[in-house]
Amino acid sequence: MTDIKVIGILGAGRVGTALARRALAAGYEVRIASARAPSEIALMMDFVAPGAVPATTEQVIAESDMVLLALPLSKYRSLRPEAFAGKIAVDAMNYWPQTDGVLPEFEGAPVSSEVVADHLAGARLLRAFNHLGYHELDAEARPAGDPGRRALAIAGDDAAARADLAVVIDRMGFDPVDAGPLAQARAFAIGTPLFGAPLGRVEMQEALAGQQAA
Amino acid sequence: MELGVYSFGDVQRDTDGALGSTAQAQRNLLEAIRLADEVGLDYFGIGEHHTHEMPASAATVVLGAAASVTKNIILGSAVTVLSTDDPVRVYQQFATLDALSNGRAEITAGRGSSTESFPLFGHSLNDYDDLYAEKLDLLLKLNETPRITWEGRFRPALDDALVVPRPDRGHLPIWLATGGNPNSTVRAAVAGLPISYAIIGGPAERFGPLADLYRRAVEQVAHPNAQTRISVASPGFVGNDAQAAKDLWWKHYHEAFRALGEIRGFPAPQRAGFDRDANGGGALFVGSPEEIAERIVALHGVMGHDRHFFQMDLGQLPQKDFLGAIELLGTKVKPLVDAALAEKAPTSETV
Ligand SMILES: NC(=O)c1ccc[n+]([C@@H]2O[C@H](COP(=O)([O-])OP(=O)(O)OC[C@H]3O[C@@H](n4cnc5c(N)ncnc54)[C@H](OP(=O)(O)O)[C@@H]3O)[C@@H](O)[C@H]2O)c1
């Protein structure tokens, strides 16, 4: 198990800044990059996620123990695979042709993360955070044991990386649920009953089992 | 604080339950704007949409008709899907509206919540960001000068072209709409433009830090012609009885988002989530006049916004209920909000 201390976030939009707030609240150091220079997002971060350190994409990847991907899916090709060698990378991106436009390589792919994983070969790629709205990250975080605590699913082929992310998610205020290998992420993809549904840990486990059996 | 309404031109249901006339929806809009003006509301916005459920595709035509039957109300778009329109045409239409309404026209530019206009007008969603940036640039330049020389990727170049009519007041207010990407807040501040926050789910106060960011960024940039104002657009409905209003509106809210979810792949809303957002500090301003007034004032304490306007006609809400809510917003909510804010911020004479 890796001792995660620094969380890196690529994308400083709605999802990226919400993840930054949760990670800071959980006691992690946070580095964050957008499409612009770090100096250009410094003021913004002071207000929306005070404490998160703006950096370049390269710095974020190099200096973090785990990198959360919260950029528009169409930008995934801008990520240099070599930079991710051996890194835990968590893909929060969704494929929404209605808003992103049609991206041919994602058409018909049951799990968009599999395409991202192929591109970032060498990364320990996980899928998480994609099945809830960004504002729910702020509004629905709860302490461990709270009966209303919401569950977040994790999929990925690297079991140790999944376990590391489970610790992070728990500290962020959600119940981690291990969905298994990356291919299982189809069970909580857009259009499934789990997507967007406010489920607790047990309900999530049951729903995943139901989807996976189907 | 200015109060108002916005609509996407929700259609009615026929007696047999089928979706009703898209033409009638335009007449209903006109009726709603007229009433909003009569009951003293400050703003009415029409949001461009191109669906059977929401057929408000030509906002300036309806607003132009409204200009001739209203006196004071500000007439605007909420929003103009600028990415798929021609900024020259947008400017001409709103400048014409401004002329006919004696200076009551406003544009709110945004990316819009739906994307039907992309295939309709032959644009690619893959160009989303570039289209928006380029067209906003042109629209803002058109607001500065009647003669323009300009070149871009998505529209033929302009060589000392004359764009008329010109607003008597020199320029049109152009707002930028955002759904919460913090960079849009910075973008509006840097351009010296007023900003309109669409707060449609979750706790409304989460937009407080963005409003603070906007004010701080404006200070830092100190744009010479800055028109720094903040508005909030949120779903809402007012009825005399709080519970009855929530029960009625839930049916229509559910219907609207169930239908949208089917297209976009998210589940239908649940009553528990609705009740959480429709009470306390949530984003859905549904309830009695007293409750809505209190909640507007509470959000004002966090955001300091200058205008708050509500989308009431959703999911085939009957026109009579829409009109009833507009009336209550003007006659009951507005005086309560004015009184509460006057008390909170005593003028220098009264201190
Ligand atoms: N919105 C939601 O509730 C939600 C929920 C779950 C998952 N998602 C997924 O999460 C992703 C992000 O969504 P969002 O709503 O946060 O989008 P957003 O608000 O538009 O933010 C996107 C961010 O990515 C940055 N970016 C763009 N290109 C980049 C690059 N090459 N390198 C680094 N950063 C880059 C942008 O930077 P600039 O600001 O400098 O352009 C911006 O900060 C999407 O794939 C979406 O499907 C969204």
- A73 CB within 6 A, ligand 1: yes
Instruction: Give how far Cα A208 sits from Cα of A168, A170, A192, B82, Å.
Output: 21, 19, 10, 41
* Chain A to chain B Cβ contacts (< 8 Å): 85
Does A196 contact B at CB distance below 8 Å? yes
Residue numbers in A near B221 (CB within 8 A): none
Contact B267 A133 (CB under 8 A): no
Residue B251 in any domain: the answer is yes
ipTM of model: 0.92
Domain ranges of chain A: 6-213
CA distance B36 to B72: 10
- A107 CB neighbour count, 10 Å cutoff: 9
Contact B125 A138 (CB under 8 A): no
- A44 CB neighbour count, 10 Å cutoff: 25
Contact A14 B180 (CB under 8 A): yes
- Alpha helices, DSSP H, located in chain B: 22-38, 59-67, 87-100, 117-120, 128-144, 182-191, 208-221, 242-264, 271-277, 289-303, 319-328, 334-344
Does B306 contact A at CB distance below 8 Å? no
What is the CATH classification number for the domain harbouring B249?
A: 3.20.20.30
DSSP helix/strand/coil, A197 = coil
CA distance B194 to B185: 10
Q: Per-residue pLDDT tens for B30-69?
A: 999 999 999 999 999 999 999 999 999 999 999 999 999 9
pLDDT band at B304 (very low <50, low <70, confident <90, very high): very high
CA distance A101 to A72: 11
Burial degree of B308 (CB within 10 A; 0-12, 13-18, 19+): buried
Residue B346, pLDDT score: 63
Residue B350 in any domain: the answer is no
Do strands A124-127 and A151-156 pair parallel, antiparallel, or not at all (unpaired)? antiparallel
Residue B229 in any domain: the answer is yes
Contact B213 A43 (CB under 8 A): yes
The tally of domains found in chain B comes to: 1
Residue B350, pLDDT score: 43
Residue B324 has pLDDT above 80, yes or no: yes
Does A190 contact B at CB distance below 8 Å? yes
Indicate the fold that domain A6-213 takes in CATH.
Rossmann fold (3.40.50)
Residue B351 has pLDDT above 50, yes or no: no
Euclidean distance between the first and the last CA atom of chain A, given in angstroms as a whole number = 33
Distance from chain centroid for Cα B264: 22
Closest-CA distance, B209 to chain A, in angstroms, reads 6
> Whose CA is closest to B111, among B48, B51, B54?
B48
Per-residue pLDDT of chain A (214 residues; tens, 9 = 90+): 889 999 999 999 999 999 999 999 999 999 999 999 999 999 999 999 999 999 999 999 999 999 999 999 999 999 999 999 999 999 999 999 888 889 999 999 989 999 999 999 999 999 999 999 999 999 999 999 999 999 999 999 999 999 999 999 999 999 999 999 999 999 999 989 999 999 999 999 999 999 877 7
Q: Per-residue pLDDT tens for B80-122?
A: 999 999 999 999 999 999 999 999 999 999 987 778 999 999 9
Interval between CA A121 and ligand 1 midpoint (Å): 22
Interface of A with B in 34-93 (CB under 8 A): 34, 36, 41, 43-44, 46-48, 74
* Percent of chain B whose pLDDT exceeds 90: 88
Contact A196 B266 (CB under 8 A): yes
Contact A100 B128 (CB under 8 A): yes
Q: Per-residue pLDDT tens for A131-163?
A: 999 999 999 999 999 999 999 999 999 999 999
- A44 CB within 6 A, ligand 1: no
Buried b (16+ CB within 10 A) or exposed e, B96-109: bbbbbbeebbbbbb
Q: Per-residue pLDDT tens for B128-182?
A: 889 999 999 999 999 999 999 999 999 999 999 999 999 999 999 999 999 999 9
Residue A59, pLDDT score: 98
- A34 CB within 6 A, ligand 1: yes
pLDDT band at B347 (very low <50, low <70, confident <90, very high): low
DSSP state of A84: G
Question: Measured between CB atoms, which of B216, B266, B270 is closest to A47?
Answer: B216
Residue B8 has pLDDT above 90, yes or no: yes
Contact between B73 and B38 under an 8 Å Cβ cutoff? The reply is: no
Contact B183 A100 (CB under 8 A): no
Task: Please report how many Cα atoms fall inside a 13 Å half-sphere around the Cα of residue B200, on the Cβ side.
Answer: 15
Interval between CA B98 and ligand 1 midpoint (Å): 37
Interval between CA B154 and ligand 1 midpoint (Å): 24
Residue B349 in any domain: the answer is no
- A135 CB within 6 A, ligand 1: no
Match 């949760």 to its residue by tokens: A22
B45's CB contacts (< 8 A; 6+ apart) are B4, B5, B6, B7, B76, B77, B78, B79, B108, B233, B309
- A72 CB within 6 A, ligand 1: yes
Nearest CA to ligand 1 atom 27: A35
CA distance B90 to B138: 11
- A69 CB within 6 A, ligand 1: no
Residue numbers in B near A43 (CB within 8 A): 186, 213, 216-217, 220
Range of the domain at B247: 2-344
Residue B351 in any domain: the answer is no
DSSP helix/strand/coil, B282 = strand
Contact between A65 and A5 under an 8 Å Cβ cutoff? The reply is: yes
Residue B348 has pLDDT above 60, yes or no: no
Closest-CA distance, A97 to chain B, in angstroms, reads 8
Does A136 contact B at CB distance below 8 Å? yes
Question: Measured between CB atoms, which of B183, B209, B265 is closest to A191?
Answer: B265
Residue numbers in B near A190 (CB within 8 A): 264-266
Q: Which numbered atom of ligand 1 lies nearest the CA of A95?
A: 47
